[in-house]
Amino acid sequence: MKEIQDVVKNLTDKYGSKRESLLPILQGITEEQNYLSSEAMLEIARALDISAAEVYGTASFYSFLDTVPRGKYVIRVCRTIVCDMHGKKQIVKTLEDLLKIKVGETTHNGKFTLLETNCLGWCHKGPCILVNDDIYTEITPAMVNEIINKYRNK
């Protein structure tokens, strides 16, 4: 893995080192390292010349900016009402059985994290899941296996 200083440097070169660069930088780190480590947040604070508490305070506000270790692929199952009505629970159950983890946990090999999330904006095609940035709609328990295999072999 690249040194965190280099990662942050690349991002500040791209987005600048002003306060308004903070969100794009946090997003960039999350993309590269799956989550925001304390080291990363401290380095950002140094680079932007703001307190580490400001960095953590901002990061922890956003549900897509994780401050605890996450798997390479973060699976987010939509739990909002229409997806819930259309079989979200079976999807979660299938994922839990398949990955042998509960919602909120990460697999041993660090490949998958399973989370629930609020409305993904596909209510007409629920249930739906987001795997990193990829969306899967109208999924069935049978399809879950296929989707997971795709990422397993990546």
Partner 1 sequence: METKKIKRVDFIFSQDFKVSEVLFNTFKKTRDEILQEIIDSDLKGRGGAGFPTGLKWKAAKEDKITEKYIICNADEGEPGTFKDRAILEEASQKVFGGMAICAKVIGAKKGWIYLRGEYKFLIPHLRKEMAIFHDMLHNELGFDFTIDIFTGSGAYVCGEETALLQSMEGKRGEPRNKPPYPTNIGLYNKPTVVNNVETLVLSMMVVKIGAEEFKKLGIQDARGGKLFSVSGDTPKSGIHELEFGMLLSDFVEEFGDGDTKAVQVGGASGFCVPRKKFDTTTIGYKGKLKGTSLPTGGSMMLFNSSRSMYNVLHNYLEFFAEESCGQCTPCRVGTQQLLKGIEAIKKGEKSHEYLEALLSLSETMKLTSKCGLGQSVANSFSSIVENFREEMIY
- Positions touching partner 1 (CB under 8 A) are 18-24, 26-27, 57-58, 61-65, 79-82, 84-85, 117-126, 130, 133-135
CB of 112 to partner 1, least distance (A): 18
CB of 62 to partner 1, least distance (A): 4
Q: In what order do the strands lie in the sheet with 129-131?
A: 112-117, 73-78, 129-131, 134-136
In the complex with partner 1, which residue's Cβ is closer, 93 or 108? 93
CA distances from 8 to 32, 85, 109, 125 (A): 11, 43, 26, 38
CB of 31 to partner 1, least distance (A): 10
In the complex with partner 1, which residue's Cβ is closer, 9 or 98? 9
For residue 136, the 8-state DSSP code is E
In the complex with partner 1, which residue's Cβ is closer, 23 or 98? 23
**In one letter, which amino acid is 14?**
K
